Amino acid sequence: MSVNSGKELGALRATLPLWQAMREYLSFVPEARIAELEDFFQQISFAEGNRQAIESALKRHPKLFRIRKKKREKFIALNEQRERENTDS
């Protein structure tokens, strides 16, 4: 999908569910902290991308996301099966 204008980008942000935006972000990085996701969503003006909403999306989609904890930080990645599906096609 290509976006040609700010208006199209705004419409895409308004219709894209948070979990799909998280999946797209994580398809480009091996793993990310919740704070990094929040920063990214803030930079692209994706208002739904706050910590509470991200935590909720993680709980609602446990098959899609893998969570690794190190001390007090949570690291999020796509589940390996999802990653394999992307490389098989």
Domains of the chain: 6-88 (1.10.10.10)
Mean per-residue pLDDT, 3-13: 60
Residue 31 has pLDDT above 90, yes or no: yes
- What's the average model confidence in pLDDT over 41-66? 92
* pTM of the model as a whole: 0.76
Angle, helix 34-43 to helix 18-26, in steps of 10 degrees:
110
Residue 2's pLDDT band (cuts 50, 70, 90):
low
Rounded CA-CA distance 17/19 in Å is 6
Percent of the chain with pLDDT over 70: 74
